[in-house]
């Protein structure tokens, strides 16, 4: 299941906080802040989708992520590679390195990461 852009924005705040009450999350939104009812609806939908859990304290709920940020990001990137790059990580890497205006230093750093992964795969 996928998050909408607004849900993803809220999830980013929750990943950063690790756990938070709705009022705390609302305060973290940039201006103009959404209505509390909007955030409550988003949190309910995210809980229904299995992205967010909560503990109840009387009338308040403390929310926490059920999905790791890295797991979500990995799934999203792999979905993008499948949809836009013919399921080819090499096509994605080619596009990424050519179209993102990376500096020579960033490309060198990327090369180190790739070389390290190649060594892991050879073992």
Indicate if the pLDDT at residue 71 is higher than 80: yes
**Coil/strand/helix, residue 63:** strand
CATH classification of the domain holding 40: 1.10.10.10
pLDDT band at 79 (very low <50, low <70, confident <90, very high): confident
Q: Which of 10, 6, 46 is nearest to 28 (CA)?
A: 10
Instruction: Tell me the average pLDDT across 100-121.
Output: 90
Indicate if the pLDDT at residue 93 is higher than 80: yes
86 phi-psi bin (left φ>0, alpha ψ -120 to 50, beta other): left
Together in a domain, 61 and 78? no
Indicate if the pLDDT at residue 1 is higher than 80: no
Task: Tell me how many domains the chain contains.
Answer: 2
Together in a domain, 16 and 61? yes
pTM for the predicted model, two decimal places? 0.75
Domain span including residue 11: 5-65
Together in a domain, 81 and 94? yes
Together in a domain, 115 and 86? yes
Indicate if the pLDDT at residue 80 is higher than 80: yes
Residue where one domain finishes, among candidates 39, 65, 91:
65
Residue 20 near residue 63, CB atoms below 8 Å = yes
């Amino acid at each position: 299941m996928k998050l909408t852009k607004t849900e993803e924005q809220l999830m980013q705040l929750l990943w950063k906080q690790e756990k938070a009450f709705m009022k705390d999350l609302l305060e973290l939104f940039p201006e103009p802040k959404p209505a509390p009812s909007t955030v409550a609806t988003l949190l309910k939908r995210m809980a229904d989708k299995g992205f967010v859990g909560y503990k109840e304290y009387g009338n308040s709920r403390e929310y926490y992520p059920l999905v790791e940020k890295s797991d979500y990001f990995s799934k999203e990137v792999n979905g993008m590679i499948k949809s836009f790059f013919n399921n080819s990580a090499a096509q994605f890497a080619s596009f990424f390195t050519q179209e993102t205006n990376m500096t020579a230093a960033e490309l060198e750093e990327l090369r180190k990461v790739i070389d390290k992964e190649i060594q892991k795969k050879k073992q």
